[in-house]
Amino acid sequence: MHGRVKVRTVAEQAEAKKKEKEKKLQAYNAALEKIFEKRNNQILDEEGLKLSLEVLLANPDFYTLWNFRKDIFFSLKESRPTEELQKLYEEELHFIESCLRVNPKSYGTWDHRTFVMNNIPQADWKRELFLCNKFLEYDERNFHCWDYRRFVVKNSTNITIQDEFDFTTDKISSNFSNYSSWHYRSKLLPLLQPDPEQPAGVKEEALLKEFEIVQNAIFTDPDDQSAWFYHKWLLGRGEIKLDLLHVVIIRKSKRVVVNVTKPIHLVDTPYKIQLEVNGNTITDKWQNPFDTNLHSPVWIMLLPDGIMSTDDTMEISVKLLNDSETISSCLLTMKSSMKQASYHSTTVKPAAIFSSELTAAKSAILEQELQSIQELLELETENKWAILTVVQLMKSLDSIRYATEIKNNLEKLQSIDPKRERYYNDFGSKIVIENQIKTMDPLESMLQLNNLSLTAAYHMEYLLILQDLDVSHNHITNVKNFAYLQCLEVLNLDDNQLDNVDGLEFLPSIVSISLRRNFLANLEVLRPLQRCKTLVMLCLDGNPLFASSGMPHMFVCLSSIQMSIIPKNFP
């Protein structure tokens, strides 16, 4: 099905070809008929092996016939002496090799070889490794062969991890552009030089050596993506420790909202959030903002009736538990005069979470990498891989100090690699939002993200205590994750590219939403907002819905409407 070029033939040739195929098919079908007859009668003998040879050679994906051969081998095992079996299995290995030469990418053929090697009385693993070498020479990217190689290594007693690591070194030095070898290295290196404290789980000396090899590759062929992906991996990715980040009690919507550092689930998992109000444990069900059965970094408890109506001061305790062990806890006091009370962790900072995307243990390594990639950029000024790597390094080192350079580099990437323009846009948006979060007072209830060329609203889960958010004059296309903003009352989304408002229906405290000059095309897309019981102001002017849906004239003139009017006008 792959790579068969359509060839035009003159009628005569076509006729001859057709005849030839018919003949081939006749022989094929005749062989099949005999095979199936034998199989139906459970005659499992050597003749069956012979009969299926030609068919499998022509069609190695015919899995039922490989099964037939396996059945025959099992049956012969009962009746034949070991030496004879050994000989039959060796012949089978030869046969499989001929099949692989015709089609080196057939799952069934490779799998049958593992069957033979698992059952042959005396396995010669060295020969198998040799076969792998041969096939990888012929096609160094054949993942079937790489997988078979790993099977061989696992079973052989005298092939070490170091041997395999050296093999990948050889492969890479003969051709840097060998993604399969880099991949294999990423699996071998943490076994060979383990250090769970270091990025990629690899000892620092080994890591430095790897950087050297990658440098060599990217200076030799800077357009080869294999080495760049491996480079990104070497820089590491930090594990985020589970912890409490924010807790908010909101009087109006009668809820406690808990934000943890990574998505968790609270049903059938070891994690628990324990909530006590004035010493009484609340055992109702936690739900996530979307009310789905999915993992979430934000969990909500709707307080039972009566608890919030008291005028007394409330003492609230929240504990995050793993099994019965407390990971983190906090205590909040909400006086009767307060609209909301909140806690934010002083030990876990969003900044640490953001930089965990790349974390070399020592920023010295990052500095050094940044320097050498910048040297490469002096020679290869338009190399997108180098520019992007520079952005990633700068983001990890100090995204605020490098903010302007990051922005310029991302703009350059958009012009030299326009196919992935939106990827670079979103990446830029992410960094901008991270910088805003890093520099804001964690208890601040207002944030302005307007006019920042944002294309994506990253990290809304870290902003859940905001009451007033301005995201106007950007290029936002969806607001699904705004559902995390459980305290939000005023939201300005003017001048974005929204064609729906899905997500906003989960905002329990929202009072005012401004959606001027977006792409909202009909009233139907606003239907989710009917769930927002607290909404009193909704600005919609400048959306195509006013032009097309035949709304009453007075409606068009209004710059803001009472939400209560809308349902009556719904179709």
Partner 1 sequence: MATPMKDVVISEKAPTTLLLQKHADFIAAYGTKKDDYEYCMTEYLRMSGIYWGLTALSLMGKLDKVDKQEVLDFVKKCQHENGGFAASLGHDPHLLYTLSAIQILSLYDAVDCINSDKVVEYIKGLQQEDGSFVGDKWGEVDSKFSFCAVATLILLGKLDAIDVEKTAEFVLSCMNFDGGFGSRPDSESHSGQIYCCVGFLAITGRLHHVNVDMLGWWLCERQLPSGGLNGRPEKLPDVCYSWWVLSSLKIIGRLHWIDKDKLVQFILACQDDETGGFADRPGDMVDPFHTLFGLAGLSLLGDNSVKLVNPVFCMPQETIDKLNIRVHLLTL
- What is the footprint of partner 1 within residues 350-389 (CB under 8 A)? 357
Among 229, 271, 519, 546, binds partner 1 (CB under 8 A): 229
Among 427, 462, 484, 506, binds partner 1 (CB under 8 A): 427
Residues 112-131 contacting partner 1, CB under 8 A? 115
* In the complex, least distance from residue 179 CB atom to partner 1, rounded to whole angstroms: 5
Residue whose CB is less far from partner 1, 227 or 257: 227
* In the complex, least distance from residue 125 CB atom to partner 1, rounded to whole angstroms: 18
Structure tokens at 151: 């099977």
The answer to the question of residue 111 lying near partner 1 (CB under 8 A) is: yes
* In the complex, least distance from residue 276 CB atom to partner 1, rounded to whole angstroms: 28
Write the binding mask 512 to 551 for partner 1: x where contact by CB under 8 A, - elsewhere. ----------------------------------------
The answer to the question of residue 77 lying near partner 1 (CB under 8 A) is: no
Among 28, 219, 519, 546, binds partner 1 (CB under 8 A): 28
Q: What is the dihedral of CA 45, 47, 48, 54, to 10 degrees?
A: 160
The answer to the question of residue 419 lying near partner 1 (CB under 8 A) is: yes
CA distance 408 to 424: 11
The answer to the question of residue 103 lying near partner 1 (CB under 8 A) is: no
The answer to the question of residue 150 lying near partner 1 (CB under 8 A) is: yes
The answer to the question of residue 4 lying near partner 1 (CB under 8 A) is: yes
Q: Which stretch binds partner 1 (CB under 8 A): 41-49, 124-132, 223-231, 487-495?
A: 223-231
Measure the CA angle with vertex 542, ends 537 and 547; round to 5°: 110
Among 53, 57, 58, 523, binds partner 1 (CB under 8 A): 58
CA distance 103 to 145: 12
Q: Which helix H or strand E contains 248, and what residues bound it? A: strand 244-250
Structure tokens at 343: 């806690």
Q: What is the dihedral of CA 372, 374, 380, 384, to 10 degrees?
A: 110
Burial group, residue 373, by CB count within 10 angstroms (0-12, 13-18, 19+): buried
Burial 157-191 (b: 16+ CB within 10 A, else e): eebeeeebbebbeebbeeebbbbbbbbbbbebbbe
Residues 312-351 contacting partner 1, CB under 8 A? none
Q: What is the dihedral of CA 399, 404, 405, 406, to 10 degrees?
A: 50
Residue whose CB is less far from partner 1, 70 or 80: 70
Angle, helix 179-192 to helix 204-220, in steps of 10 degrees:
170
Q: Which stretch binds partner 1 (CB under 8 A): 348-356, 420-428, 537-545, 561-569?
A: 420-428
Residue whose CB is less far from partner 1, 249 or 386: 386
The answer to the question of residue 141 lying near partner 1 (CB under 8 A) is: yes
Number of neighbouring beta carbons within 10 Å of residue 252: 14
**HSE on the CB side for 163, CA within 13 Å?**
13
Q: Which helix H or strand E contains 67, and what residues bound it? A: helix 63-79
Measure the CA angle with vertex 404, ends 401 and 405; round to 5°: 90
- How is the beta sheet containing 446-448 ordered, strand by strand? 446-448, 468-470, 490-492, 512-514, 537-539
The answer to the question of residue 243 lying near partner 1 (CB under 8 A) is: no
What sign for the dihedral angle of Cα 442, 443, 449, 454? positive
Among 52, 109, 193, 226, binds partner 1 (CB under 8 A): 226
Residue whose CB is less far from partner 1, 21 or 50: 21
The answer to the question of residue 310 lying near partner 1 (CB under 8 A) is: no
The answer to the question of residue 233 lying near partner 1 (CB under 8 A) is: yes
The answer to the question of residue 6 lying near partner 1 (CB under 8 A) is: yes
The answer to the question of residue 64 lying near partner 1 (CB under 8 A) is: yes
Residues 456-495 contacting partner 1, CB under 8 A? 456, 458, 477-478, 480-481
* In the complex, least distance from residue 328 CB atom to partner 1, rounded to whole angstroms: 20
Residue whose CB is less far from partner 1, 92 or 541: 92
**HSE on the CB side for 249, CA within 13 Å?**
24
* In the complex, least distance from residue 465 CB atom to partner 1, rounded to whole angstroms: 23
CA distance 81 to 253: 80
Write the binding mask 167 to 206 for partner 1: x where contact by CB under 8 A, - elsewhere. --------xxx-xx--xx-xx------------x------
What sign for the dihedral angle of Cα 173, 174, 176, 180? negative
Q: What is the dihedral of CA 422, 427, 428, 433, to 10 degrees?
A: 130
Residue whose CB is less far from partner 1, 277 or 456: 456
* In the complex, least distance from residue 418 CB atom to partner 1, rounded to whole angstroms: 7
Write the binding mask 275 to 304 for partner 1: x where contact by CB under 8 A, - elsewhere. -----------------xxxx---------
Residue whose CB is less far from partner 1, 304 or 418: 418
Q: Could you write out the three-class secondary structure of 301-330? A: EECCCCCCCCCCCEEEEEEEEECCEEEEEE
Q: Are 60 and 108 in contact (CB under 8 A)?
A: yes
Among 9, 30, 77, 143, binds partner 1 (CB under 8 A): 143
* In the complex, least distance from residue 445 CB atom to partner 1, rounded to whole angstroms: 25
* In the complex, least distance from residue 450 CB atom to partner 1, rounded to whole angstroms: 20
Selection from 501, 448, 495, 497 nearest residue 476 by Cα? 497
Query: At 28, is the secondary structure helix, strand, or coil?
Result: helix
Among 95, 230, 354, 402, binds partner 1 (CB under 8 A): 230
Q: Which stretch binds partner 1 (CB under 8 A): 301-309, 313-321, 421-429, 521-529?
A: 421-429
Size of the site for partner 1 (CB under 8 A): 73
Residue whose CB is less far from partner 1, 13 or 326: 13
Measure the CA angle with vertex 463, ends 438 and 348; round to 5°: 55
Q: Which stretch binds partner 1 (CB under 8 A): 63-71, 125-133, 278-286, 535-543?
A: 63-71
Q: Which stretch binds partner 1 (CB under 8 A): 122-130, 144-152, 244-252, 359-367?
A: 144-152
Query: At 517, is the secondary structure helix, strand, or coil?
Result: coil
